[in-house]
Amino acid sequence: MIRKAAWLLLLLLSLAPFVASQGTPTKASPRVSRVPKKEVDPTIAAALKKISPAQIKATIEKLASFHNRNTLTANEPDMYAKGLGILAARDWIKSEFERYSAACGGCLEVKVDTFTEPPGNRIPKPTELNNVYAILRGTSQDTPQPIYVVTGHYDSRNSDTLNVADAAPGANDDASGTAVSLECARVLSQYRFPATIIFLAVSGEEQGLNGARNFAKKAKAEGWNIVAVLNNDIVGGNKAKDQDPSIVRVFSEGIPNAATEQEMRQIRNLALENDSASRQLARYVREVGQRYVGPPFQAKMIFRRDRYLRGGDHTAFNESGFAAVRFTEYREDYNRQHQNPRTENGIEYGDLPKFVDYDYVANVARVNAAALASLATAPGAPRNVRMLTRQLDNDTELTWEAPADTRAVKYEVLWRTTTAAEWENVEAVGNVTTAKLQRSKDNVIFAVRAVDKNGNRSLAVVPTPAGR
């Protein structure tokens, strides 16, 4: 009798995957589970080993050598003739992208967007600005194809925003972020991904996010399907004694800057203040960083758009409705930022290359590259994710549609308590489009994500109510 019962149990277990694959609601168990940290894509892991602190050092030192990369040096033809200023830096960045493209058989489309910024705050007269970028086109036939962007700003400044004469090396702010974008381009261009990646260097940040704002508006106007933007600004991990070289901060907006009134009502009604697309991107970056890079190095989420009294290019993308986050070192040294290089009272000021921790920047680049490669390889996010609310029920039923691509082989339901910052639990529910969980929707926040055959996961999508 016992042997017969055991045989019957084995038969039922063997049929379970088949039943689930037919789209039948899966009643997930209430057990706690987590994503296996060893579940990594070997191609991505191999790519990260190619990130080079020495190459990053060479990039930052080269950018610092242009004397002053203030956006306004575009109005100084004598500087450009001497190979100095922001226009000379623009040319060099473009040549680096072209060099990487030559190494991969012309895989990168290298572009320079030039526009004229009219007079305004910090720009006394019409000034030419240039965004330099390289596009690694995806291999999939998805329409529109998802786009993932990594960026840093290559302009610099010293104590005076309008000073174009004195040195403004800008090694940390933001040659470091530009170096991350370039290093990601150098390494990831050696591979191919289903989705498109753009490696971007913008100008005009110190004058008011001008370059990023122009790029974001262009992308929105032309209907680019930008899913996520990783902005790197001040990621040099200065060598101050109280710096923590194991942490990079990741800032993200809570209430979307571009939210409509209807979206705002939904956020208020469902208490989704911490579930914007940018917050989901921040959680993704942290999880991928833990899987591929740390510990001890980790991406530490900061739940605010940016630091006090400061701003960054990710905000320009947020304004146009794109999910975007900012990477910044853990503890900033204000004797370095926006300073004329000098020594006063025994204190050395100035944003010089010798104060940059190149191993730290390399780790930041690895987190960026891991996130970009994972996102560009993973299936698209589940669509039309809904939570059924037609009647009072202590269980929770979720439904969704498969992403437009065909790379998803299974789905996961995530949840966390309403006071938690990170996803605390995950339940694999198989290759289905509906799941019923023995957990009250009133007590937690749910989300659904798609998973491919190598364990690459999409961004998580929080459900909206259906049935009321």
Q: Looking at the structure, do residues 162 and 300 belong to the same domain, yes or no? A: yes
CATH of the domain at 411: 2.60.40.10
Residue 461 forms part of a structural domain: yes
* 216 in Cβ contact with 131 (< 8 Å): no
pLDDT tens digits for 9-18?
Answer: 444 444 443 3
CA torsion angle 458 311 338 129 (round to 10): 80
Q: What is the pLDDT of residue 1?
A: 43
Task: Give the model confidence (pLDDT) of 452-466 as tens digits.
Answer: 999 999 999 999 999
- Which candidate, 63, 294, 55, 373, places its Cα nearest to that of 183? 55
The reply to whether 132 falls in a domain is yes
The residue written with tokens 């500087």 in the block is: 79
Is residue 201 domain-shared with residue 265, that is, in the same domain? yes
DSSP result, 259-290: --HHHHHHHHHHT-TT-SHHHHHHHHHHHHHH
Question: Is residue 366 very low, low, confident or very high in pLDDT (cuts 50, 70, 90)?
Answer: very high
Domain boundary among 377, 394, 411: 377
- Model's pTM, two decimal places? 0.92
The per-residue pLDDT for 30 is 42
Confidence band for 242, pLDDT divided at 50, 70 and 90: confident
Report if residue 45 sits inside a domain.
no
| Residue bearing the bigger pLDDT, 3 or 461 | 461
Residue 6 has pLDDT above 50, yes or no: no
pLDDT tens by residue, 369-417: 999 999 999 999 999 999 999 888 899 999 999 999 999 999 999 999 9
Counted domains in the chain: 2
Q: Which residue has the higher pLDDT, 7 or 21?
A: 7
Q: Give bridge partners of residue 120 from the DSSP assignment.
A: 123
Burial label, 62 (beta-carbon count in 10 A; 0-12, 13-18, 19+): middle
* Residue 407 lies in domain: 16-39+381-466
35 and 163 inside one domain: no
Q: For 208-355, where are the E strands, in sequence order? A: 226-232, 247-252, 298-302, 324-329, 342-344, 347-349
**Domain assignment present for 44:** no
Domain edge (last residue) among 327, 359, 377: 377
List the CATH number of the domain containing 274.
Answer: 3.40.630.10
Digit-coded pLDDT (tens) for 331-356: 999 888 899 999 999 999 999 999 99
Same domain, 291 and 309: yes
Mean pLDDT of 439-455: 95
Give phi and psi for 94, each to the nearest 5.
-60, -45
Give the pair of three-digit tokens for residue 40: 């990594």
Q: In the beta sheet, which residues pair with residue 342?
A: 349
Q: Which two tokens stand for residue 188?
A: 């990831």
**Nearest by Cα to 458 from 446, 448, 449:** 449
Residue at a domain's end among 342, 377, 412: 377
Same structural domain, 406 and 344: no
257 closest CA partner among 278, 271, 242:
278
